């Protein structure tokens, strides 16, 4: 009997040790929590804090603003479908971020020697001419002409370019065009590359010049080491992701009907460019949110994407995913819209493959994902609530907001861990930062500084 008691106690102690500690909470607004991590992120990436020089004042102004956000969010429309769709998109993106962090990043190592090589390579710029192809076979056939003796200039002329107006650029080692950079920086002046795929396109490049910065020093290397490490790591992680997908997924992880996509694009372009007007700047994919109400049901229910693991997307579901994604669309003309639409479609479908792999590992239930969803939920509710407060009022007059908040603080319990606030050490970038894998999506919501209301709170050492 005693043996069983001892075993039970050991098991209990082991489970107790494994139990995760709750993340530190800086403040509570009637049950809504502001975690220390949320506060740190908001402080780091809030451009409004630029004008606040004193760190203690900056912390206090930001905390008051986050509390104001929670107060306004408390009365937001929680059943709003647009908010629910956006939160689902944020959940997906956070899950993919965790996959990069937990599964891909551990596969990447960078040695001191590789950093030194990257430093020396960063001192070199390659001047290139290039031709762009949308089809791999066409690019491969063009390269074969080079191998058979045709000059790059003759190939360019064959594609309609005058030899004095061939597309050209100067490339640095930045990691933004990983496949092109990897190829070009292996080439000597005068060499022509085989087709290189970058994004949706294939490039044949010729190196026509090289610029070298001969100044190198240990001090200069130490100054640039962190930046170089990030760039090199980004390249290595991209390659590690490609290797993971090649090793763990079938060669064709999804089937996408080109004919159906052409049919869909034809209808969408007609709706947009004949019935709706857009500016000449980049649009957001949310500009497509009106389409499901205007397209025929037989088109909306048309199967468009079949994934290897059995999931199927209809046109309607794809448009829903597009309308909440962060991949921008161009509405300048039909050609630019078509290219941006196809690129956004490819990115969303590719993201789904990674998302499925992440969900198989239960990463969608990780603490980071839950934290991200909670942060964005409150922010979206705050924006909806703010729109109601400022309805028929000037956006430049914050007085209605302050009046609303001064009334609300009386009715809600606000608790602040002032000791934590006073002792936490923070740094700020004075700028908003976009997430690496999701262009256009902010790493954390940018909260405007609202300071003109009377905050009544309870002081607490800990929770």
**pLDDT exceeding 90 applies to what percent of the chain?**
43
Whether the pTM exceeds 0.85: the reply is no
Main-chain dihedrals φ then ψ at residue 189, nearest 5 degrees: -60, 130
At residue 280, the pLDDT reads 46
Strands 201-212, 124-133: parallel, antiparallel or unpaired by DSSP?
antiparallel
Categorize the per-residue pLDDT at 59 as very low, low, confident or very high, splitting at 50, 70 and 90. very high
Categorize the per-residue pLDDT at 175 as very low, low, confident or very high, splitting at 50, 70 and 90. confident
At residue 278, the pLDDT reads 54
What six digits make up the tokens of 432? 């908003």
- Examine the pLDDT at 225 and tell me if it is beyond 60: yes
Of 97-106, 184-193, 387-396, which gets the smallest average pLDDT?
387-396
- Examine the pLDDT at 186 and tell me if it is beyond 70: yes
Q: Residue 14 burial (CB < 10 Å; 0-12/13-18/19+)?
A: exposed
Of 52-61, 213-222, 450-459, which gets the smallest average pLDDT?
450-459
Q: Which residues contact 189 (CB under 8 A, 6 or more apart)?
A: 207, 208, 209, 210
Domains present along the chain, CATH in parentheses? 20-79+376-459 (no CATH), 120-248 (3.10.50.40), 254-360 (no CATH)
For residues 273-291, give the mean pLDDT. 60
At residue 363, the pLDDT reads 97
Say how many C-beta atoms besides its own lie within 10 A of residue 221's C-beta. Answer: 15
Categorize the per-residue pLDDT at 191 as very low, low, confident or very high, splitting at 50, 70 and 90. very high
At residue 459, the pLDDT reads 61
Categorize the per-residue pLDDT at 277 as very low, low, confident or very high, splitting at 50, 70 and 90. low
For residues 175-183, give the mean pLDDT. 84
Of 44-48, 226-230, 295-299, 375-379, which gets the smallest average pLDDT?
295-299
At residue 118, the pLDDT reads 84
CA–CA distance, 317 with 307 (Å, rounded to integer): 14
Q: Residue 130 burial (CB < 10 Å; 0-12/13-18/19+)?
A: buried
- Examine the pLDDT at 451 and tell me if it is beyond 90: no
**Where is 58: in which H helix or E strand?**
helix 55-73
**pLDDT exceeding 70 applies to what percent of the chain?**
90
- Examine the pLDDT at 321 and tell me if it is beyond 70: yes
At residue 348, the pLDDT reads 95
For residues 220-248, give the mean pLDDT. 89
CA–CA distance, 393 with 389 (Å, rounded to integer): 8
Count the residues in the chain: 463
Greater confidence (78 vs 44) lies with 44
At residue 67, the pLDDT reads 93
Say what the alpha-carbon torsion angle 89, 92, 94, 98 is, to the nearest 10 degrees: -170
At residue 282, the pLDDT reads 46
At residue 281, the pLDDT reads 44
CA–CA distance, 190 with 268 (Å, rounded to integer): 45
Average pLDDT, the chain: 86
Greater confidence (1 vs 451) lies with 451
Q: Which pLDDT tens digit goes with each residue over 383-438?
A: 999 888 888 887 778 888 888 888 888 788 889 999 999 999 998 888 888 888 88
- Examine the pLDDT at 115 and tell me if it is beyond 60: yes
Smallest Cα–Cα separation from 380: which of 84, 40, 176, 2?
A: 84
For residues 448-463, give the mean pLDDT. 71
At residue 284, the pLDDT reads 54
What six digits make up the tokens of 171? 């490339």
At residue 373, the pLDDT reads 95
Smallest Cα–Cα separation from 36: which of 56, 68, 63?
A: 63
8 A C-beta contact, residue 261 and residue 296:
no
């Amino acid at each position: 009997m005693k043996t069983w008691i001892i075993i039970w106690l050991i098991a209990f102690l082991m489970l107790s040790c494994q139990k995760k500690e709750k993340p530190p909470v800086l403040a509570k607004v009637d049950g809504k929590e502001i975690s220390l991590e949320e506060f740190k992120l908001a402080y780091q990436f809030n451009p409004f804090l630029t004008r606040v020089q004193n760190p203690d004042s900056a912390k206090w102004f930001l905390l008051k603003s986050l509390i104001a956000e929670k107060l306004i969010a408390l009365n937001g429309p929680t059943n709003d479908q647009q908010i629910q769709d956006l939160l689902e998109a944020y959940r997906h993106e956070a899950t993919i971020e965790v996959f990069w962090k937990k599964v891909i990043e551990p596969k990447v190592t960078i040695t001191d020697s590789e950093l030194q090589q990257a430093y020396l390579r960063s001192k070199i710029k390659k001047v290139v001419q290039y031709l762009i192809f949308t089809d791999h076979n066409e690019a491969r056939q063009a390269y074969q002409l080079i191998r058979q003796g045709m000059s790059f200039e003759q190939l360019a002329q064959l594609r309609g370019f005058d030899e004095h107006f061939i597309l050209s650029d100067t490339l640095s080692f930045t990691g933004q065009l990983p496949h092109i950079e990897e190829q070009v920086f292996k080439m000597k002046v005068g060499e022509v590359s085989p087709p290189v795929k970058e994004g949706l396109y294939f490039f044949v490049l010729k190196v026509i010049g090289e610029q070298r910065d001969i100044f190198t020093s240990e001090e200069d290397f130490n100054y640039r080491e962190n930046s170089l490490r990030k760039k090199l790591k980004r390249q290595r992680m991209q390659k590690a992701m490609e290797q993971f997908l090649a090793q763990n997924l079938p060669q064709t992880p999804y089937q996408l009907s080109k004919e159906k996509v052409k049919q869909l694009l034809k209808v969408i372009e007609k709706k947009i460019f004949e019935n709706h007007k857009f500016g000449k700047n980049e649009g957001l994919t949310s500009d497509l949110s009106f389409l499901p109400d205007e397209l025929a049901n037989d088109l909306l229910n048309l199967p468009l994407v079949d994934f290897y693991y059995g999931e199927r997307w209809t046109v309607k579901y794809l448009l829903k995913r597009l309308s909440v994604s962060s991949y921008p669309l161009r509405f300048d003309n039909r050609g630019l819209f078509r290219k941006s639409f196809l690129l956004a479609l490819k990115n969303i479908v590719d993201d789904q493959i990674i998302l499925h792999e992440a969900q198989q590992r239960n990463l969608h239930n990780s603490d980071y994902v839950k934290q991200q969803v909670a942060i964005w939920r409150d922010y979206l509710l705050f924006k909806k609530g703010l729109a109601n407060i400022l309805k028929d009022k000037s956006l430049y007059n914050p007085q209605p907001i302050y009046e609303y908040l001064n009334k609300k603080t009386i009715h809600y319990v606000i608790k602040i861990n002032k000791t934590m606030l006073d002792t936490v050490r923070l740094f700020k970038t004075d700028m908003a930062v976009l997430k690496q894998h999701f262009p256009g999506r902010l790493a954390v919501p940018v909260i405007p500084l609202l300071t003109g209301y009377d905050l009544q709170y309870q002081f607490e050492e800990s929770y």
